[in-house]
Chains A and B, each alone.
Chain A
């Protein structure tokens, strides 16, 4: 097996600087928005007492879920011993940490009292899944950092056992983390939209998809930046296949989620609301999540030319999957709240507190800026780390292909196993 080589970024092109500038501007705008919200209260957002979690939660959950999924490439390489993925393991760990920090920052800045972060970190209610998540999240950062250390430190890297152990630990932890995030919704007994055991596997499948889509986007951007073929043809095929499989898995669980609830009399109301009658939510679901976020990118993956010529299509598909992910969480998080709580099932109700009314929610600019700034924050962390330490593979195409040929990748040798049947 050829020795893996890694590189740091030391020279930036103009487009890359432009990208950095864009992210810096967005982070600044996000922080400004958070200050503005802190100063004036949540009245300056679209959130209210019916829809208490808005766009920031959509972005935060999206980033946290993506973070655990981003670790997959590293897990596949060390836990499942797929050597072909080894060159990307470092980047995968880095991306996982960065996305998680971006998501947590948004979550914290959207608190009613972000200044009380210290209280949140020192006062715990151990019955609360939220409190557990604080441990899951900080543990994740520590474990992935140790995992990165096991890969990158000269001494530590010699011990295969240490690396393997860290790999397993990180893998187990990421499953717990996604489950923990999904469980936040599982505890909301009275909210009909969240009353589904299928949410846990759905979140895990979604994490695979978003995490991989982020990884592919970063790799392709960096390929351009380093003028190095970071994803040789073979890997491109594998990633393409994996993206399609994960997207189909998410689609499958989404279908199960909705169909089973449609057939239960108690949940029909909320299902019809989300899928047909709920105004903006069916639109976001069918057009955003299913159309733009699933069918279109799957078609792109299926019909794009094979080999390196399909690169642009794969890049575009990854971006669309991420948009689909945001749409999916919008429907779950906001749609689920907009559907009125039934205090008196079967009755017609009204009150000054808007009982029985569909929750109105129009995202305001500060929320959008705050939410989107989480993505930018993650990307800036990645860019900075790439400059400081050798996370990026240095891959003469031939060498990696040789590696890959000896290993059986997850996507098998057929670059597009599921695409053909589409």
Chain B
């Protein structure tokens, strides 16, 4: 009994050592892939190997333009929900007309960038892993290598640039839609005077809120692309791995996005 108990603990201990070794191997793999992506994207073009923009445009359409509907819808609804929720609390304090300020700041600083990144992690991160994972499994990545073409430059760089450009754009549009959602509810259902609503909002929001939101969304873009690509590139063997890794990519990039959000929010909290 006692022996089996310690046996159990011992086994758990070894499992823990194993998993943490795995964990650090994944982290360092992710780090090296990110490094070579940054090199291929920003350093190599300076050394006379210009970036081809056509695949970047294709990816921008794929990840950006085609995501607008869902991003608009989600952020608009978040604005509406936020207005309702805050109205209840603020009216008890007799400060109903500050709904606009609360909605505006919350969306700009936090919910706009975060919700957009989470939606994109599900929509785009999954697509990245599935596409590139299928290419890995069917030897297409190996084919690139044997043609002396760098798969990182060929597959990851266009996606990286596309999301790096499109995620902040989508975030700005999400901010606007969220604020619009709050405004519509505030001025109709809640009966706040539009001029008061707008004045209060503008008083509360500052440029810094937008900038910090955009800085975050750039970081989120890097996380989504790198996790999605890494999960695709480590696939060995059959097609069932593609499904598994796609799921892992979405889960891991969502968690990392939220952790990064926490880190940056606290950073901005203490620094600014």
Q: Do A and B come from one complex?
A: no
By a beta-carbon cutoff of 8 Å, the part of chain B in contact with chain A is none
**A residues neighboring B (CB under 8 Å):** none
